[in-house]
Each structure stands twice: as structure tokens, then as C-alpha cells.
Structure 1
Amino acid sequence: MFCSKSVLCDALTALLVVTFGTSTWVSLGGLWVELPLLTNLGIPEGYRIGSYLIIATQAAAIGPLIFVTCQCLAPKNYHLEIPTIYATLAVGATASFLLIFFWDYFSFWSGDEHSIAFLILAFFMALVDSTSNLTFMPFISSLKSKYLNWYFIGEGLSSVIPSFVVLIQGTGGEDECVANHTFINITVDPNTNVTICQNCTVWAIERNGDALFPPQSYFIFIFVVLTLSTTSFCLLRRIPFFRDQYDEAEQYENSDETPGNVYESWCSCCNCCTRRRDNDEITPLLSSYNTFEENKTQDKRKATVHSNCEDNLKFNEETCMGTEKDQNDNSKMANIVASDISIEKEDVKGNSRPSKSSFSAGHAFLFTTLTLISALTYGVLPSIQGYSSAAYGSNIYLLATTFAEISVPIGFSL
């Protein structure tokens, strides 16, 4: 019975983690893949909508800047990741809900017609994606390490699911020139006084099909995904059934059985900034996902050193308690412990290595390369995608945007 309950709890936790992970890029990626249809429906910006959307999404980078600033100004024993997740998911869900009704509301600005409402709501939806890199991983790291892969699966689905939905939706077909009216135009040349008869045709641009469902229905789908992600996060935080799925530091929150690890309000929204009751330093919530194996190795090494200390203490207490020899042995034991701990700072050849790496020219080259790649991937190339793809037709434009989103999780998995 206990085994079946544990398996059920693990399965539900994995499902909630995947659902929570889908909110990382579903809002911004969902807007990008919908641009071909919006362009065909006559959005005022036309093929320039990609450039405007880039400006709105890059402006959303102020979200991580505000979060980092508040985290630096907050006391050391406070962590703002959890309330920030609540706030960003609520803002993203609200913006996607309003987009259902205001995506086609246009306004005049600087003498031209612009989709101001769409761009403003896109800015708030992009806040979820921009801040997720700083806030989602600390929360996932508080869970057991086996759920990290499930989170990455959900993060990959955040780009794949909207792309497949847009492929099913379609763009409404290609534009065709259709003869609307044919007439004979008779003119007289004033110089030669000759009558000229011409057959003239008035052409009209018509679309040979319609999308399977309108943009309103698609934005309803985005709203449902963000709502499910928000609900999953609330369940993981507030339901005691998932309490055992956290690491030891989180499992015994609000429990008096574990001294030194007592936290306040495991399920309280008012105290979602994690805080300790005592004056000890809190265990940092922010931890990188690629340091799990290193932490396990350090724990084993510390356990070995601790066991050696206990054995030496026991031997000294039984044989030389109360003598000068006991003091000397204790001092030797302290030296042994210090030498064992210093092994962490020595490499295989026995040469000491610094605990902190210094900034070098290699680091500058890597950061410069990363900056250029990020600028091309998230700034330059998406802004000109409409001009480069739409020349071959709306269907090619659709395929280019959707497969570009699908390739992102595939590239990261490789």
C-alpha cells in the first residue's frame, strides 16, 4: 500500500512539474508562430510585426533586472523566487486572457495605424519567459533531483506544443489575383485622332481558403496552458501530499522534529519568502542544476571525515582522557581533519589550485561569443524572418516559424 502511494505521488509530481515547465516559453513562442496568420489577416504592421515584437520582448528584459535588484537589496535570509513565480505566472495568464479580446484592436500613433494593444500585452507575456530563467530553476532545485529531467521535458514542450497547434490551424491559404471585372476601354489619341479600343481587367486579391480556427481560439489555448501551469505550481507548493517530494531542507519545514532546519509556513502564501526562525544562515535556495553530483561527492567526503573524527575521539577518550597525551592527540586529530578537508583544493598531481577562478581573456572571448550568438538568435534573425520567408508564400512563412521553434528543444537535447 505504501509503495503504490509513493508511486502515485511520484507520477503526479512528475506530471505537475512537466505542466509547470510548459509555461517557460509558451507565451512568447506561441506569439511568434501565430505571426504568419496575423499577417495574412491584415495586421497594420504587416511583415514589420516581427521587428515590433522583438522590441517589445527585449523591453521585457527589465523583469530579470528588477528581480536581481530586489534580491540584492533584500535581507540575506529572504528568497524572492517563489513570490516572483506567483506574480509572473499571474501576469502572463492575465495578459493572454486579455489578448483573446484585444488582439485586433488598432490605434493611431505617429500618423499610422498600429496594434498597440497587441504589443503591450506581448510585453507582459514576455515577462514570464524572461524571468523564468532566474526563478523557475531555484524552485525546481528544491525538489528531488529526479524531477529535473521532467522539468526540461516540459520546457521543451513549451515550444513544441504551440508549433503543432499552429500547423493544424494553418494560415488560410495563399493569396490569388482574381479577375473582378472586365470591360472595353475606348480612347481617342489627340495627336493622331485615332480611336483605340482596349480590353481591360480589374483584378482583386482573394484568399483561397480560411484557417481552421481563428486567432481568438488559439489565444484561448495559450491562456489555458498558462492557467494549468499556474495551477500546477500552486499544487506543488500548497498541497501536503507532495511534501515528501522536496529535499530534506524542504521536507521538514514547519516541523519541530528536526532542530536547526525549522522553517516557517511551508504552505503559507504570506510567508512565501523562505525565512528561518533562528539566527543561523539559511541554506541557499538558488542552486545550479549541474552541481548535484558535486554536492553528493562533497557530502560523502564530509561523512568520511566526520566518521574518522568520531573514531579518533572515541579512541582518545577511552585511553588517554584527562592527560597531556590526550591534548596532543586531539591537536593531531584536528590537523588530520584539516588536511583531509584541504584535499578538495588539490588536484591529481598534488598541486594546490585556487578555490575561485579569476577572469581571463578566455572568459572575455566566451562572453563576447555568447553575446553575439544571443543577439543573432533572439534579435536580428527573428526580426527579418518575415521578409526572408514570406516572399515564398504564407505557407512557407508558417513552416519557417514553426520549425524554428521546434528546433530549439531538439538542439538543446543534442
Structure 2
Amino acid sequence: MSLLTHVLACLFGMGSWVSINGLWVELPLIVPQIPEGWYLPSYLSVLIQMANVGPLFVTLMHRFRPGALNETAVIYVIIGLGTVASFLLGFFWKETVVVAGVPRSVALLVLTFFLSTVDCTSSVTFLPFMMRLKPQYLTTYYIGEGVSGLLPALVALIQGVGVLHCINNTETLNHTLISSNSSVTFDLQAQYQPANFSAEVFFFFLSAMMLVCLVAFLLLNYHPSVARELPKGRYTNGVIEKSQKNRKWAEQNSMLDPIRPANLRSSFGTGTYSWMQVFYIFAILAWANALTNVVLPSVQSYSCMPYGNNAYHLSATMAAVSNPLACFIAMFFPIRSLLLMGALTVIGSGAGAYIMGMAVLSPCPLLVNETSGDVIIVLSWILFVLALSYVKVIIGVILRDEGHSALVWCGAVVQLGSLLGAVTMFPVVSVYSYFSSGSGPSLSLHKDEKCARVKGGNTPGAASPRNRANKAEGGIPFD
């Protein structure tokens, strides 16, 4: 294998969601300067789901007009569009236009829609393109996709986004006109510290990352050393013929498949899997993406903030690292067992159920006053992301062997799972405010005092790689 090809595949995958992930981590710096304020995340969630018109169009064209859509040309267009849109955001994100008598950030919303269309469409174009390379490079692509969330977060950390401190405003209230007695109330106000560099510079950085993705794509198409890495199999109706080794592996490991009706094969891909198995694989794929991209990220702050600032930031950071780590593990241990896939899905979902339970119990979850509670919630986030990210990579590897068409449907199901998760969580979190956090600024409060407060107010869920692309938020975390 070529190290250059691995690097290019990683950089190519990084461009898949770097723009939208970068926009989400920059929100604390953007929202104080625009008229929408903290309603912006909810607007962005709707725009991102509307952008699924891109993958829907590509999938329908592939289904009803196979071969009519030039996949390479589409990738050039969407990467170019993402580069230009990110660059223009640096100039126009603060510009407003009066609509129906109210100032609106029209440029920001329109450019965000274009970025969302780029990133959503990458799910059904980037993955099928990776069919042209050897299977090992698909895992490297997934590593790059994970880095697309980690890298903007690290840059935002250097920028100092969301760093705040409390200001103690003291008020003196006279009780009567004739008495000198008075009472003093202490009012803590959270104030964001100035960033080390502006949002404009950050957007130019995102544009540069998209440009790097474009260069990587060009080299993947035309560099001689990459051409030597192309698989030797030939394409037939969009499906690459599996090598004898892969066929033999599938036959010898049939006992690893939990559902295999006798003598029943599907016409999907190479026909290796039955229709029941195909449904099983895609159901797990949709479920895993719904949980990791939307459902749990939308309640991350509710599940972590009661345990303190350290637990919150550590869980967000380690979740971001766990995604590319799972892809790295899958590169060396690509176990294509459907039984293992189901077991890991159960384990990841179990960790997710604990996280959701703590979010429901917020602001007084289990072990809130214990160090063990902090440790368990952080470990739950790591296990949740690690297990389900590995499952998603293995499904990609399996479907890669089933051919080009299988990877197109893989991308479509990824977006479908995210869409269903967003439709489910948006009203629960943003409309009905089902989840509760401690009311008011609680930076100076001990954990015991937090649970003595009356539940109220909303705290937005902070997200990890790609997760911000689909979540709904309602306020600023004060903890």
C-alpha cells in the first residue's frame, strides 16, 4: 500500500463534513453578533435537513438513470462550491437584510444551506468514488471523516471559542424609606472572553481545508502512484468483481452471520447476502448514524453538565477523538462479522441509553455528587462513540465489497438515519423543552446546590465530529 494514497484518502475524507462541523463549533462566537441569536442553531438544523435534497437527487439518478450522472464531475462541483461558500462566509456572515421589517442574516443562512448541501451530498458521492481504490483505503477515508470534526474543534480551542468567566454584579436594595437597613444580592453574569482570532479567519481556514480536499481529489485521480494502487478487478454494471479470496472468506465465515436463510440470496450487489441480511445491515447503519449524528449529541450537555465543566469538556473531547480512533482500529482489525456488528451495536446502544437516562434526569442525574459519576459518564461517551463508529466503518467495508451501487445506498441510508434522528429530537429538545438544566448561571454553585434549584431553562447539546450537523439547540451552556 502507498503511504501517499493513504494521506490523500484521509484528506479527501476530511473535506466531507469539515465545513458544517466548523460552523457548529464557531457558534459561540457568531450568535452574539447576529439578530437570530441562539435561535440560529435551530434554523441551521432545519436548513441542514433541507439540504438532503442533494443526496436524494443523486440517489434517484443512480436508481432510475444509472450512468447518466458523472460522479467525478459532481464531486468537483460540490468541493468547489464548499470552498467558495466557506470563503464568502468570511466576508458576509455578519451582513443582514431587512425581511418583513426584521433584520435577518440572509447571507449566513443561504451560504450555510450551500455548505449543508455539499456535506450531505458527499455521503452519496465520496464513498462510491472510493470504490476505485483498494478496500484498505476506505478505512483511511473514514479516519479523515472523523478528523473533519476533530480538526475544527482543535482550531476553535486554540481560538478560544466559548471561554467565559463570571462577573459579580452586586445590587443594594432598600426595604423602607425610613430605615437604613438594606439587603445585598449577588448576581453572577457570564461574559465571553475575546477570541484569539476572528470568525473571519476561522472561515478562511475552513475554505483552505476544502481547497486541500480538492487538491487531494485531483491527486487521487491523476497521480501515477495512486494509479498503481487501483484494484485489478473490472467493473460490471457498477459492481466490481470480488476476488476469489473475498468470495472464499464469505463462504468460510458464513457461521458468523446471525441470519442466513438457506439457499436464499438477494440480487443486491454481488448477491453474497440475503435480503434479510441486507435489511439487517442497513437498519443497523441507519440506527448507528441516528444515534451518533443527532440523538445523543443533541442532549450531550444535559447528560454531562450536571457533573461539572471538566466532565462536560472531557466527554466532548474524548468523543471527538474516539471516532477516528475506531476507524484506525478497523484498519488493522476489519472483522466483517454480522454477529459482532450486532453485539457492538447493542453495547453502543446500551451506553447511549445510560447517557440518555442521565440527560432525562438532569439536573440531578445518578451519582451527581460522586467522582464515580463523572468517570462513568465520560467512559459511556467514549464507549458509545467507539463501538458505533467501528460498526459504521465495518458496514462501509462490507458494502464496498458489494460494489458501487451498495456504497451509494450506504450514503443514502446514512443521511436517512440522520434525518429521522433530527425529526425525532428537534421537537423534543427545542419545541417542547423536555430536557431541563439548572436555571440561571450556576458557575459558582456546588453540585449539591444545583440539584436544589428548580428545574428550568434549556442548555444546548454540544456536538462531536459531524454530530453538530443535525442537532437542535436552544441556549448557551452555563456551567
Shorter-chain TM-score range: 0.5 to 0.7
> Do residues 62 (structure 1) and 53 (structure 2) align?
yes
Contact 1:143–1:247 at 8 Å: present in 2 too? yes
> Which residue pairs with 1:226 in the alignment?
210
Secondary structure of the residue aligned to 1:245 is: coil
Residues 2-401 of structure 1 mapped to structure 2, 5 A cutoff: 10-39=2-31, 41-74=32-65, 76-78=66-68, 80-171=70-161, 173-174=163-164, 176-177=166-167, 207=191, 209-248=193-232, 283-285=236-238, 295-297=243-245, 353-356=263-266, 374=289, 377-379=292-294
Q: Distance in 2 between matches of 1:142 and 1:44?
A: 46
Q: How many residues align?
A: 317
Secondary structure of the residue aligned to 2:125 is: helix
Q: Distance in 1 between matches of 2:306 and 2:37?
A: 13
| Change in CA separation of 1:227 and 1:45 when aligned onto 2, cut-off 3 Å | same
AA aligned opposite 1:36: P
| Change in CA separation of 1:120 and 1:397 when aligned onto 2, cut-off 3 Å | farther
| Change in CA separation of 1:34 and 1:15 when aligned onto 2, cut-off 3 Å | same
**TM-score under structure 2 normalisation?**
0.54
Secondary structure of the residue aligned to 1:108 is: strand
> Which residue pairs with 2:451 in the alignment?
none
> Which residue pairs with 2:421 in the alignment?
none
Q: What does the per-residue CA deviation read over 1:176-212, in whole Å, with 9 as the maximum and x for residues that have no partner?
A: 44669x9999x997xxxx69898999x9968463212
Q: Displacement, 1:64?
A: 0.6
Structure ID, larger Rg: 1
Q: What does the per-residue CA deviation read over 1:274-323, in whole Å, with 9 as the maximum and x for residues that have no partner?
A: xxxxxxxx624466xxxx9x64347779xxxxxxxxxxxxxxxxxxxxxx
Q: What does the per-residue CA deviation read over 1:217-236, in whole Å, with 9 as the maximum and x for residues that have no partner?
A: 11111111110111111122
Secondary structure of the residue aligned to 1:171 is: coil
Aligned Cα RMSD in Å? 4.4
Q: What does the per-residue CA deviation read over 1:310-341, in whole Å, with 9 as the maximum and x for residues that have no partner?
A: xxxxxxxxxxxxxxxxxxxxxxxxxxxxxxxx
Q: What does the per-residue CA deviation read over 1:116-172, in whole Å, with 9 as the maximum and x for residues that have no partner?
A: 222221111122221222111221111123322322222221121111111222226
Q: Distance in 1 between matches of 2:123 and 2:51?
A: 13
Consecutive unaligned residues in structure 2, runs of 5 or more: 256-260, 267-272, 326-385, 392-479
Q: Distance in 1 between matches of 2:318 and 2:198?
A: 21
Q: What does the per-residue CA deviation read over 1:386-409, in whole Å, with 9 as the maximum and x for residues that have no partner?
A: 888899999998777665544444
Secondary structure of the residue aligned to 2:59 is: helix
> Identity across aligned pairs (percent)?
34
AA aligned opposite 1:413: Y
Q: Distance in 1 between matches of 2:67 and 2:212?
A: 31
Contact 2:233–2:243 at 8 Å: present in 1 too? no
Q: Distance in 2 between matches of 1:133 and 1:80?
A: 16
Contact 2:18–2:148 at 8 Å: present in 1 too? yes
Contact 1:33–1:398 at 8 Å: present in 2 too? no
AA aligned opposite 2:263: R
Q: Distance in 2 between matches of 1:109 and 1:399?
A: 41
| Change in CA separation of 1:390 and 1:211 when aligned onto 2, cut-off 3 Å | farther
**TM-score under structure 1 normalisation?**
0.61
Secondary structure of the residue aligned to 1:156 is: helix
Consecutive unaligned residues in structure 1, runs of 5 or more: 1-6, 251-281, 302-343
Q: Displacement, 1:35?
A: 1.6
